[in-house]
């Protein structure tokens, strides 16, 4: 029933300005997800596999927190680290390594346009595979490579639907190969790791356009791998690798 005096709905708690991205992020994640100086955010996550909280600071991951560490992080981030049901879900590094052979992370492009999917091998070879799937809407590859993903706040089933599409999408008829400048563009925004032998890696990749029903229309897809600057990757092997990864990720998530 609706009371006669509807003002009562506005008398409890502060008004939330959901037009402010930081306020909206704080409300969805239930913690102060402060940005780090290197990019990314400070966040407490709950792993859906081992059901333990873990901490991510930009590109650094810290699983298996002690009670003291968890309490300290809870104070800093203004959340209850022991309230597992309140934490956003993401695979911890240990479970991700066990089930996927490396660390898997997801970012979201602004306005629910798509996802930034990264897999980093746990082996000494330090392989990195990156998939970017974003609604086209006159989007160019150069623009996509300059676009930084945001912290994921969308439900995991939405991500899994795109993974299922990536797992089964047909081999494209035509592809665009990264130019040297585009390889450097991606490296400037998202620096690849360095190989165990101290060789610097550089991104190499491909892109194409395709209909993607889970995202509601045509998308620009880009697959990339971090390799030696003297090497070139094979699109067929990269395409197959992501089909296999997408299936494994969807199964675990």
Residue-level pLDDT, tens digit, the chain, 253 residues: 333 333 333 333 455 555 566 787 888 899 998 888 877 899 999 999 999 999 999 888 999 999 999 999 999 999 998 999 889 999 999 999 999 999 999 999 988 899 999 999 888 777 899 999 999 988 999 999 999 898 998 888 999 999 999 999 999 999 999 999 999 999 988 888 765 555 678 899 999 999 999 999 999 999 999 988 777 789 999 999 999 999 999 888 8
Specify the pLDDT at position 133.
98
In the chain, what is the straight-line distance between the N-terminal and C-terminal CA atoms, in Å?
A: 40
Of 3.40.50, 2.60.40, 2.60.120, 2.40.30, the CATH number of 101-252 is 2.60.120
C-alpha to C-alpha distance for 180 and 30, rounded to whole angstroms: 42
Size (the chain), residues = 253
C-alpha to C-alpha distance for 26 and 33, rounded to whole angstroms: 7
C-alpha to C-alpha distance for 229 and 227, rounded to whole angstroms: 6
Specify the pLDDT at position 11.
37
Specify the pLDDT at position 139.
93
Task: Return the structure tokens found at 62.
Answer: 């810290």
SS3 state of residue 48:
coil
**Domain-wise residue ranges, the chain:** 15-86, 101-252
Specify the pLDDT at position 49.
93
């Amino acid at each position: 029933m609706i009371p006669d005096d509807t003002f009562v709905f506005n008398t409890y708690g502060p008004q939330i300005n959901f037009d402010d991205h930081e306020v909206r992020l704080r409300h969805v994640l239930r913690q102060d997800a402060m940005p780090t100086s290197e990019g990314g955010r400070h966040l407490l996550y709950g792993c859906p596999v081992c059901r333990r909280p873990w901490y991510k600071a930009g590109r650094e991951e810290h699983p298996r927190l002690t009670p003291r560490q968890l309490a300290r992080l809870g104070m800093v981030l203004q959340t209850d680290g022991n309230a597992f049901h309140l934490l956003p879900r993401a695979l911890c590094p240990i479970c991700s390594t066990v089930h996927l052979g490396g660390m898997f992370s997801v970012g979201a492009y602004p306005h629910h346009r798509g996802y930034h999917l990264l897999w980093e091998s746990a082996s000494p070879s330090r392989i990195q595979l990156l998939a970017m799937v974003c609604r086209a809407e006159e989007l160019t590859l150069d623009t996509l490579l300059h676009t930084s993903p945001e912290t994921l706040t969308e439900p995991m089933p939405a991500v899994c639907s795109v993974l299922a599409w990536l797992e089964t999408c047909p081999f494209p008829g035509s592809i665009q190969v990264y130019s040297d400048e585009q390889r450097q563009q991606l490296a400037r925004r998202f620096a690849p790791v360095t190989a165990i032998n101290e060789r610097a890696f550089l991104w190499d990749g491909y892109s194409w356009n395709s209909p993607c029903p889970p995202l509601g229309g045509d998308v620009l897809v880009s697959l990339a791998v971090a390799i030696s600057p003297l090497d070139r990757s094979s699109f067929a092997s990269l395409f197959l690798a992501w089909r296999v990864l997408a299936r494994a990720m969807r199964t675990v998530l």
